[in-house]
Amino acid sequence: MRKAAINDNNKLLSYTLSFDVIVVDEIQSVNGYNRQIVLDIINNSKNAIMVGDFNQEWKKNYRNKTPFSMADIYSITDKVYKLDVNYRNSQAIFEYGKKILNDNTTSGSKDKGVTMLFRIQSEAELGERLEEYNKDKSAIIVSRHSKIRTRMWKSFGIRTYSVSDTKSTSPETVILVNSTKLGLHEKTNDDKEYEAVKEIWSAVLRPRKKLIILEYEGWR
């Protein structure tokens, strides 16, 4: 679609307007030229729905591209609905997430769930735990740091996902490796630190039922 817009924007608009409703998901991740494409489509569409969570927008100016914003939303929509009840995460995961970033939501889940934090003492212990967790088909292993993901593959042959890789997924269990060192923060005036907080928050709230956090100082 992006290529079509670059070559002939009018043709793209003609095509998209043939649909009764246009839906754009993950709107907080739209930036740069893609942002302009979406704005053009929405402005010319009779019925458009945009869905997003700006607390998950942690690469705000990725490669100096203008990101979508709430100002964009309010400028092109007739109605804005805020969903403030979390049904996705178990209560334990939800409460842990609130310690990282309090977004004024409440929990609607009846599942108590599990959140566990392990301080790993050796690389051998880390490998044993990861091999055990890797057998669980309902679980994915995640790390915010590319060096950690590369090392996990070289040391244990285990694929580890970035937080971005897990978007639009809803795993039952997430094993989060060396990704919460920043600590638990409220909003700060430091944009980079706040974006890191939002990335951690997004990773923590990815699983539905169980969150397992592994912290190993030997790999810092």
Q: What is the pLDDT of residue 60?
A: 61
CA dist., res. 98 & res. 100, Å (int): 5
Name the nearest CA neighbour of 55 among 216, 163, 180, 179: 163
Residue of higher predicted confidence among 29 and 93: 93
pLDDT band at 59 (very low <50, low <70, confident <90, very high): low
pLDDT at position 146 is 92
pLDDT at 191 over 70: no
166-186 residue pLDDT tens: 887 889 999 999 987 654 444
3-state SS assignment for residue 161 = strand
What's the confidence (pLDDT) of residue 158? 93
- What CATH architecture does domain 86-219 belong to? 3-Layer(aba) Sandwich (3.40)
- 210-216 and 114-120 as β-strands: parallel, antiparallel, unpaired? parallel
CA atoms of 65 and 30, how far apart (whole Å): 10
Could you state, in order of their start, the residue ranges of all structural domains in the chain? 2-76, 86-219
Side chain identity, residue 113: G
What is the residue-averaged pLDDT of the chain? Answer: 85
The pair of three-digit structure tokens given for residue 166, joined into one six-digit string = 């897990």
β-sheet bridge partners, residue 212: 116, 175
Residue pLDDT, tens place only, 22-53: 898 888 888 877 888 888 888 888 888 999 88
